[in-house]
Every structure is written in C-alpha cells, then in structure tokens.
C-alpha cells in the first residue's frame, strides 16, 4: 500500500479470525501503520438465476467504452466521497472491465445515475463497485442495476452463487436480492 500513489484499503474478514486475533486486532493494525476506516459485511447467496430486471425510470447499458468506464468511476467516486481522479485512475482504460466484468450503467433520461458489476471469481459471481449518484439515491436504482449485472453475469456463465462486500448502506439492500451476511469486514487505510 505504501508504494502506491493511491493506496486503497486493506479488507479484513473478521469472521475468519480466531478469538485471540480478534482481541489483538486494533493493536496489530496500529503496529502495522493501519487505521480502521469503515465497516462492511461479507454476503453470499445461491440466488441465481433471477428474473430479468427492470426499473421504470432506468435503461441499462453494458460498460464497453472508456466513456462508460469514466461514468462508472465518477459514480463510485461521488457516492463514496473520493476525488474523481482516484476512481478514474482505477478504471479508465481497463480491458478487464470492458470485456470480462458484466458491468452496467443505469441511465435516467440518458444520464448515468447508478452502476454495478459482476465478475466470475472462483466459481461464483462477485458483485463489485455498486454505486448510485447521491442525488438519485433511495429510488431502487442500485438494487435494479445490481440485479441487471447479476442477471447478465449468470446468463453468460451459468453460475448460481454470488458474493459481495457490502457497505453499511448496501447491507440493507442486498437481502432483498437474496444475499445473506456471512462475515463482518473491517476496511483499513494507511494511518496518517
């Protein structure tokens, strides 16, 4: 992390730690130069296939161009409070995201307002980088675009199990799709 200009986060699945490790976690993180950033929840479900999703206010487009990736990155940056350049640095130009990730934008009147991706990983679909523009949250957009990514990913791969790492807000939405919590996650950043 220290060698990177934009170090990101270390994800720690607390449910995989034994009792002693959980008790000494804060001290070990501090000693390693890490600071607790925010909580999350690991979730999984045998939920596929699902019906083809729709939302009356959205149309969906698969991410296939750098313009799409820029919109995807910007949605994530705005939703999670990161500088736009940091999100763009991680996605724009990515062949993986344009070809292997079943990544979708949800458009409202032609403008990207939400996004979600699903990628095959170890015999399951992993849901990644779900976000909705803060101006358009609480309208079911994130759930709809996540369902679209899962639907298309399952259709392309035949997989029926999916996993994800949810934020506190997302952990309330994903059970409606069929996900169940399986491990608390601590996200850590470099201490300042």
Q: Which pLDDT score is estimated for 11? A: 87
Q: How many CA atoms lie within 13 A of 24 on its CB side?
A: 7
Residues 71 and 41 both lie in one domain: no
Domain harbouring 65, CATH code: 3.40.630.30
Q: Which pLDDT score is estimated for 127? A: 97
Q: How far apart are the C-alpha atoms of 178 and 185, rounded to whole Å?
A: 19
Residues 31 and 110 both lie in one domain: no
Residues 128 and 54 both lie in one domain: yes
**Looking up tokens 């997989």, which residue turns up?**
159
Q: Which pLDDT score is estimated for 8? A: 79
Q: Which pLDDT score is estimated for 188? A: 93
Residues 95 and 80 both lie in one domain: yes
Q: Which pLDDT score is estimated for 192? A: 81
Q: Helix crossing, 66-80 with 84-91: angle to 10°?
A: 140
The alpha carbon torsion through 15, 19, 23, 27 (nearest 10 deg) reads: -70
Residue 21: inside a domain: yes
Q: Which pLDDT score is estimated for 57? A: 98
**Looking up tokens 């992993």, which residue turns up?**
126
Residues 93 and 34 both lie in one domain: no
Mean pLDDT of each 10-residue bin along the chain, 192 residues long = 80 90 93 94 93 96 96 95 88 92 98 98 95 96 97 96 92 94 93 86
Q: In which domain, by residue range, is 111 found?
A: 48-159
């Amino acid at each position: 992390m220290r060698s990177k200009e934009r170090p990101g986060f270390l994800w720690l699945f607390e449910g995989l730690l034994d009792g002693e490790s959980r008790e000494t976690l804060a001290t070990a993180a501090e000693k390693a130069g890490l600071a607790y950033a925010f909580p999350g929840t690991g979730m999984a479900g045998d939920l596929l296939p699902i019906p083809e999703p729709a939302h009356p206010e959205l149309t969906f487009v698969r991410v296939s161009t750098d313009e799409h990736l820029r919109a995807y990155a910007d949605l994530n940056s705005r939703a999670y409070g990161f500088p736009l350049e940091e999100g763009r640095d991680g996605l724009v130009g990515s062949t993986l995201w344009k070809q292997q990730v079943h990544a979708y934008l949800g458009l409202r009147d032609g403008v990207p307002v939400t996004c979600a991706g699903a990628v095959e990983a170890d015999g399951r679909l992993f849901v990644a980088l779900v976000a909705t523009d803060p101006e358009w949250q609480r309208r079911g957009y994130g759930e709809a675009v996540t369902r679209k990514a899962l639907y298309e990913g399952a259709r392309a791969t035949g997989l029926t199990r999916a996993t994800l790492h949810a934020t506190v807000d997302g952990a309330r939405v994903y059970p409606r799709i069929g996900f169940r919590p399986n491990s608390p996650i601590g996200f850590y950043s470099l201490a300042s």
